[in-house]
Amino acid sequence: MSRNNWLFASILMLLSGISLNLSAFELKLLTENSPPFNMSASGGNFARGDQVTGIATKVVREVCNKASISCEITLRFPWNRIYEQTLERSDYGIFSMARTPERASLFQWVGPIVKNKWVFLAKADSSITINKLDDAKNYIVGAYKGDAKEKFLTDRGFNLQTSLKDDRLAKKLEEGKIDLWAVSSLSGQMLAKELGITVKQVFVFGEIDLFIGLNKEIPADVVGKMQKAVDELNKSGRIQEIQNSYFR
């Protein structure tokens, strides 16, 4: 074999090896119960595979399929635990996550996979009026512990009541133990409806894109393929179509 032919064959073997390694790669994606973005079909705090549903989950599945990446999706509790797992394990990712300045350098990012609004919800018969963010400091505000919304509000001087479950916060709102519930708009209103609690939105304090956060050691080719898939799904209108399908 000539030197040129040998070199060409070596390159082909190398590329083939990379392709085989990527096809064998399995990405483990973690999420939490946060309807309607991510949720367990059973309503519990653990689910795997097809038992994990929701807007963002459906988008993530289509991203993985389009990128030809094998993805195992698991829903666990609490958020802080799965967040730390993703930072520590080289084949892990987490969704749906806001890309905050504090988190930006800790992950590789794929998205946005869905858009989200941060709001204050009050009881439907509440007379509370919020015209600017600082107005809410006059009230008792509840937020999900470890969530980006909690961090955002704490950094701005809020003294919050926190919980590891949004349903507890919804019940505290109903019972009058908190005046305002800091929550994602779609998640909060959907959960309140499920619990039979009537709420109203009194202020939007953030409009946030949600992403998949990948461990820094995930191969760059995997990240690139997934981002390309997100871009194509966004461009085609498919992601908006998925979101709309949950609210017909």
pTM (predicted TM-score): 0.76
β-bridge pairing 92-98 and 26-31: parallel
Helical (H) or strand (E) element with 39 = strand 39-40
DSSP helix/strand/coil, 164: coil
Query: pLDDT tens digit string along 134-161?
Result: 999 999 999 999 889 999 999 999 999 9
Strand order in the sheet with 199-214: 47-48, 70-75, 26-31, 92-98, 199-214, 108-123, 180-184, 141-144, 161-163
> How many CA atoms are closer than 13 Å to the CA of 158, on its beta-carbon side?
25
pLDDT above 90: percentage of residues in the chain: 80
What pLDDT sits at residue 245? Answer: 86
Query: pLDDT tens digit string along 157-209?
Result: 999 999 999 999 999 999 999 999 999 998 898 899 999 999 999 999 999 99
